[in-house]
Amino acid sequence: MSRVPSLEDLGDVSGKRVLVRTDFNVPMEGPDDARIITDDFRIRAALPTIEYLTSRGAHVVCASHLGRPKGSPNVKYSMAPVRARLAELAPGVELLENLRFNPGEEGNDPAFVSQLINGIDMYVDDAFGAAHRSHASIVGPSLTLPSAAGRLLQREVDVLGDLREKPKRPFVAVLGGAKVSDKIGVIEALQERVDAFIIGGGMCFTFLAAQGYPVGDSICEQDQIETCKKLLAGPVPIHLPEDLIGLDAQGVYQTFGIRLPSGAKGLDIGPGSAAAFTDIIMDARSVFWNGPMGMFEDPRFASGTKTVAQAVADTKAFTVVGGGDSAAALAQFKLDDEVDHVSTGGGASLEFLELGDLPGLAALRGAPNAR
């Protein structure tokens, strides 16, 4: 496999027009025609790459998606608020309108690629969060233009690549979130790489059901029970909760053991499980965490996620957190500075750990300056 070209591989960028694919899919609130950015982290995260280029005399044209406008213009997803913030942070840098206003973006239409690179000399991809998508702006420009990975994309690939190929052991994967089916591929792939799994969140109930425990009205995917049985019979230990917190059939907050009565809903791991998971995380030397341990948006069901987040912050292990909700939980508990790496891509980080490559990276390796 050839190397993904870096910014240095572009050579002299002075006087060149450079298209930079960024991930400016920022959280926003407010009325559709007056949206306000609630967190500009993703804009600031692109600055090292933008500054590398502008300080060497390049003219930078950024392009990003925002939300899911599904192929047509929609004021709610206008880039105008992002453009205003970018103008403050990086004066003189252009930003195209939302890529997903054009159906050619998600459809990877060559005509849309031509439109994007019209008048452009070079291409830089710094949108790790979108690198698992074969969209026009991700895989198209590098077919013809000299191309490179930006600093953010490069760091993601370095960190996640090391975790995948040469983790310090024991390597523990802590997985949670709503659905097993979203994460089954990465669990299967990580079986060959990790020393143990810790599984909490909504997805633990499909595993508990596979072990024969009653799960009440908790989210449970019947069609994944057989897969969970196979994983449980596999060589890698899977640590599941042994106590739970949730609501009983009357909607009253309760602490439960491992068996949920009928009508009860499990919404967090219990304190005993959180303590046991902490011990395993403290003894690990590499930890990858994706997915909250419970419905942490409701403060009644946040304690399992908070305890695990604290353990990930406190352990001496090398720690990587991937996933939008997991990163949001870390930030909510003010622990985001306490981990080694917070990935900017949820789906992309899982797919990279699973497959070791992404369409966006393969595209860069195929660029004319990399071949």
Active centre residues (catalytic) = 42, 179, 324, 347
Quick check: 178 binds ligand ADP (CB under 6 A)?
yes
Q: 53 pairs with which residues across the strands?
A: none
If binding is defined by CB under 6 A, does position 292 make contact with ligand ADP?
yes
Residue 294 or 359: which CB sits closer to ligand ADP? 294
DSSP string covering 295-329, please?
-TTSGGG-HHHHHHHHHHHHSSSEEEE-SHHHHHH
- Count, residues near Mg ion per rule CB under 5 A: 2
Using CB distances below 5 to 8 A depending on partner kind, what does residue 294 bind out of Mg ion, ligand ADP, none? ligand ADP
Tally Cβ neighbours within 10 Å of residue 134. Answer: 15
Q: Site map for ligand ADP, 217-256, x if CB under 6 A? A: --x-------------------------------------
| Among 167, 345, 346, 360, interactor with ligand ADP by CB under 6 A | 346
201 near ligand ADP, rule: CB under 6 A: yes
Judged by CB, which is closer to ligand ADP: 104, or 294? 294
Cα–Cα dist 314/310, whole Å:
6
The answer, yes or no, to whether the previous bond of 170 is cis (omega within 30 of 0) is yes
Q: Report DSSP state, residue 54.
A: H
Of residues 324-343, those binding Mg ion (CB under 5 A): 324-325
Q: Report the nearest approach of Mg ion to the CB of residue 138 (Å).
A: 21
290 interacts with ligand ADP by CB under 6 A = yes
Sequence-ordered strand ranges (E) for the chain? 17-21, 28-29, 36-37, 59-63, 94-95, 122-125, 147-149, 171-175, 196-199, 238-239, 244-247, 253-256, 265-269, 286-290, 318-321, 341-342
First to last CA, the chain: 11
Number of residues in contact with ligand ADP under rule CB under 6 A: 20
Rounded to whole angstroms, the Cα distance separating 342 from 148 reads 22
Residues in the chain: 371
| Whole-number CA gyration radius for the chain | 22
326 makes contact with ligand ADP (CB under 6 A)? yes
Smallest gap from Cβ 127 to ligand ADP, in A, equals: 18
**Which C-beta is closer to ligand ADP: that of 131 or that of 145?**
131
Cβ 346 to Mg ion, closest distance in Å? 6
Which residue number, 143 or 178, has a Cβ lying nearer to Mg ion? Answer: 178
- As measured in angstroms, the least distance from the Cβ of 301 to ligand ADP is 7
Question: Is 294 near ligand ADP (CB under 6 A)?
Answer: yes
Strands 59-63 and 253-256: unpaired
CB of 176 to ligand ADP, least distance (A): 6
Tell me which of ligand ADP, Mg ion, none is bound by residue 297, counting a contact when its beta carbon lies within the kind-specific cut-off of 5 to 8 angstroms. Answer: ligand ADP
The C-alpha atoms of residue 155 and residue 295 are separated, in whole angstroms, by: 30
Q: Which does residue 48 touch among ligand ADP, Mg ion, none (CB within 5 to 8 A, set by kind)?
A: none
Q: How far is the CB of 221 from Mg ion (least distance, A)?
A: 16
> Minimum distance from CB of 62 to ligand ADP (Å)?
25
Dihedral sign of CA atoms 186, 188, 194, 200 in order? positive
Binding status of residue 185 toward ligand ADP by CB under 6 A: no
Binding residues (CB under 6 A) for ligand ADP: these are 176-178, 182, 201-202, 219, 266-267, 290-292, 294-295, 297, 323-326, 346
Binding residues (CB under 5 A) for Mg ion: these are 324-325
